[in-house]
Amino acid sequence: MADKFISERNLRFLLYEVFDAPKITQYPYYAEHSRESFDMALDTAMKIGKNLMKPKLTEMDKNPPEFVNGKVKVHSMVRGLMKECGEGGWIGAPFSFDLGGQQLPLMISGACRFILSAANYSASVYPFLTTGAAHLILSFGSPEMIESYVPKMFSGEWQGTMAMTEPQAGSSLADITTTAEPTDQGYYRVKGQKIFISAGDHDGADNVIHLMLAKIKGAPAGVKGISMLIVPQKRLENGQLVSNDVNTAGIYHKLGYRGAPITQLSMGENDDCRGYLVGEPHKGLMYMFQMMNEARIDVGLGAAAIASAAYYASLEYAQQRPQGSREEGSPAKTPPSPRSPSSSMRILRECSSSSGPWWKAPCRSSCSAPCMPTWPGF
């Protein structure tokens, strides 16, 4: 397996020469940062990727999560990664200092996510799903919700998810049938099923906080009747975590994403699943679009990261695979030159797919020398 999975040179070229990332520090929110702090974040992300995540990539792919006695067991490194990301401030990096965040610009936190996703995409989804779920609570939840859930999510102790899809309702969210029945106790009784929920249950965190879409009984038909609730896997009672009647019915594995459990959840089998309304009733889909749109960006970022890792793996293979004769009549094999016509075509195609945007990026320096990255092993 190739040791290299991204080009640090190209990443910094984009950040500093093309987008001039340090310029954002002119704004008060980012005034505590500088190019030095940005470099420190990138360097730390590379260390986590190289030392913690990349070495477990193949192992996690060959040994996916297991569903044992109604519970999901994941690779032991997941708990360590969540702890590392919590203690290092990665989960809450873009958010304000007051909330325990780093006020790191999205451009830099996104670059760090790119590094970690390229190192081990399956592992990277655990902390960054939690980021998106916590952001929903910060944006639309009550102060009590923020106090109860966000610190534990930022610390990596609790996992966060987005729980929308149901067996009969994928992109057609108007068709969801999960219900939320009001009570006079300040919570709703939730009943229904969700499917394909990434990291929806696992033993790498002490609790899982679902940001779930449901319909309050008597709500308007269609998407105008969808509400959002916090549905924890375990709820707090008298300072203790107890079961919230959220049960895992099974797990799925996605190609290229086998290190993270894709779960099917059943809520309210014992009529004791409690959900807590986020924001106003019937505005859940509007709220969820925040995390959905963030996830769309992250999926694109993850695709570019995986393509980058695949490029360097294929480049290393092409350079090491013995084929062709050293000289006419000699049986000895030698690796092909990456400059040969056939190799050049393939390498350029892979390189343009994974890193095309910066091949034509303008340089911000005053020199006349071309800034096109050194090919093919940049």
Tally Cβ neighbours within 10 Å of residue 226.
Answer: 25
Domain boundaries along the sequence of the chain:
8-301, 302-359
Instruction: Give SS3 for 335.
Output: coil
The DSSP output letter for 204 is T
Q: How far is CA 228 from CA 72, 138, 310, 311, in A?
A: 25, 14, 38, 40
pLDDT at 254 (0 to 100): 85
Secondary-structure class of domain 8-301 per CATH: mainly beta
- C-beta pairs of 6-11 under 8 Å, 24+ apart in sequence: 6/114, 6/115, 6/118, 6/305, 6/308, 6/309, 6/312, 7/308, 7/355, 7/373, 7/378, 8/42, 8/46, 9/373, 9/378, 10/355, 10/358, 10/373, 10/378, 11/42, 11/111, 11/114, 11/115
Check residue 242 and give left, alpha or beta (phi > 0: left; psi -120 to 50: alpha). beta
Rg (CA), the chain: 23
Rounded Cα distance, 93 and 220, in Å? 38
Structure tokens at 250: 């099974």
pLDDT at 307 (0 to 100): 94
Amino acid, single-letter form, for residue 152: K
Structure tokens at 53: 């995540």
pLDDT at 239 (0 to 100): 87
Rounded Cα distance, 13 and 359, in Å? 11
Instruction: Give SS3 for 101.
Output: coil
Q: Are 359 and 373 in contact (CB under 8 A)?
A: yes
Mind listing the pLDDT tens digit of every residue in the chain (378 residues)? 678 999 999 999 999 999 999 999 999 999 999 999 999 999 999 999 999 999 999 999 999 999 999 999 999 999 999 999 999 999 999 999 999 899 999 999 999 999 999 999 999 999 999 999 999 999 999 999 999 999 999 999 999 999 999 999 888 899 999 999 999 999 999 999 999 999 999 999 999 999 999 999 999 999 999 999 999 999 999 889 999 999 999 999 988 789 999 999 999 999 999 999 999 999 999 999 999 999 999 999 999 999 999 999 988 888 887 665 555 655 555 555 555 556 666 666 666 666 654 444 444 444 444 444 444 444
pLDDT at 342 (0 to 100): 60
pLDDT at 325 (0 to 100): 58
pLDDT at 365 (0 to 100): 45
Q: Where do we find the tokens 């995540």?
A: 53
